[in-house]
A and B are shown apart, each in its own frame.
Chain A
Amino acid sequence: MPKTKKSNTGYRTAVQMFFLVFVTLLTINYTLEKTGSAIPFFSVASIHAICPFGGVVSIYQFITTGSFVQKIHESSFILMFASLILAVGFGPVICGWVCPLGTFQEYIGKLGRKIFGSRYNQFIPQLLDRYLRYLRYGVLIMVLYITATTTKLIFQDVDPYYALFNFWSEEVALSALVVLGITIVLSFFVERPWCKYACPYGAVLGIFNLFRIFKIRRSPSTCINCKKCDKSCPMNITVSSGEKVINHQCISCMKCTSEISCPVAGTVEFSTKGEKTA
């Protein structure tokens, strides 16, 4: 059995860390700028200005009035397009590689895994979990509807991402801090609870999993059924049950692939259709 060298795990961590530090510095700088002591040569932008979901919630207003929802700027629209380009090609890489809230939950999850061992990320009964995964589409529809009718960035009041990077600011609503607190607590038991059950932007990007160009593909002929791919998946997707993963929850983290978890080279690959696995 050809073994793979597991030297590829560090790339995603590096990208995640880069964006976590970058967004943290950006938001700190935004606060410092108000007191006239911003970090020299570093960008100043609010967290809303660099959130691609701001572009999504502004679409209706932009089409009808040519303006953006309160606190949203051209940059959110531009980042929305960049993340859509990535999603068409590779699925929700923004969730799995870039989003600092996803990274934050993942690192709390590492503590949860230490505490609960193999029970971690397995607490919610499968049937209930399956239905709960569609909750985020309800959240998405609600957020889009309320934003379109009020023209306000209403989601800010429950957004744990905003709360995490602005918890020191008076502008953070108590409700957002509560949602952040719940997300932190749940992260000890479930991997990426916000992403799985509530994130409206994850819901948008998840749709691209149904037709993205690069997919997770498995070769049944070389698969040894060790189920390592299933166990490694943070989103509890049963990778070993088919020849390719078409699941709205996949975050393209590549943990299941032969590059990382699968012990057989060329058996689980992130590839285009024409590519033969093993």
Chain B
Amino acid sequence: MKMKPSILSLIIFLVIFGTVGVTAALDLWKTTNTKQPAQYQSGELAGQNNPADIRGSYTFADINKAFGIPIEDLGKAFGVKDSNQYAAFQCKQLETIYAPLAAQGKEVGTGSVRLFVALYKGLPIALDDGTYLPKSAVEILLGKGSLSPEQIDFIQKHSVETP
């Protein structure tokens, strides 16, 4: 069978837009995040939301919904100045607030929110040496009194002042 440019053009449109149309009809076509983090797949935590999957586009309200952490705690922990902005504050905005520290290799960003949420909820998380928490977040976590000695040591050594 020979293929002509005219037919190939049609096939390209049909395959691309046909696939989009069919998957949209089946409600599979999604171009934005559902703000629903992945869940632990196995073990005793299976079915629970995994903080390691928190994205930069998540607002503190999304995190509150997914993990039940009060929005107030999140806003205070990360030094968001205007309390009216707590709910709509996106994790990736932290990178702007804490940009001066990034140059020193101390990153406060979405990774820090993941760490904070995991420790707040007592969920497992890998302690990454480049991830830092604001002092206010460390105080909230220490106040909860449920951290292991290793975690306490880590967050105390990885705390920074809010600029």
Residues of A within 8 A of B (CB): 8-9, 11-12, 14-15, 43-46, 49-50, 65-67, 70-71, 73-75, 78-79, 81-83, 85-86, 89-90, 93, 97-98, 214, 254, 259-260, 269-272, 274-275
Contact = CB atoms under 8 A, between A and B. Distances in A.
Interface string B1-44: 11111101101110110011001000011111100011101000
B55 interface: yes
Nearest to B23: A78
Nearest to A89: B11
B12 A271 contact: no
Contacts of B29: 74-75, 78
B55 A78 contact: no
26 contacts: A8-B4, A8-B5, A8-B6, A9-B5, A12-B5, A12-B9, A15-B9, A15-B12, A43-B31, A45-B31, A46-B31, A66-B39, A67-B37, A70-B56, A71-B57, A73-B31, A74-B30, A82-B15, A82-B16, A86-B15, A89-B11, A93-B12, A97-B8, A214-B1, A214-B3, A272-B1
B21 to A, nearest CB: 11
B53 interface: yes
B1 to A, nearest CB: 5
Given A75-B20, A75-B30, 7 more contacts: A12-B5, A65-B53, A75-B29, A86-B12, A98-B12, A270-B8, A275-B2
Nearest to B39: A66
A26 to B, nearest CB: 9
A43 B13 CA distance: 17
B31 A49 contact: yes
Contacts of B12: 15, 86, 93, 97-98
Contact of B9 (A11, A66, A89, A214): A11
B4 A78 contact: no
Contacts of A44: 31
A148 to B, nearest CB: 14
B31 A271 contact: no
A66 B36 CA distance: 12
Q: Contact residue range for chain B?
A: 20 to 34
A274 B8 contact: no
Nearest to A15: B9
Contacts of B1: 214, 271-272, 274-275
Given A66-B38, A78-B23, A275-B1, A73 B33 contact: yes
Nearest to B27: A74
Contacts of A81: 19
A78 B5 contact: no
Interface in B60-113: none
A83 to B, nearest CB: 8
Nearest to B38: A67
Contact of B3 (A73, A75, A260, A270): A270
B2 A78 contact: no
Contacts of B2: 269-271, 275
B31 A11 contact: no
Contacts of B33: 73
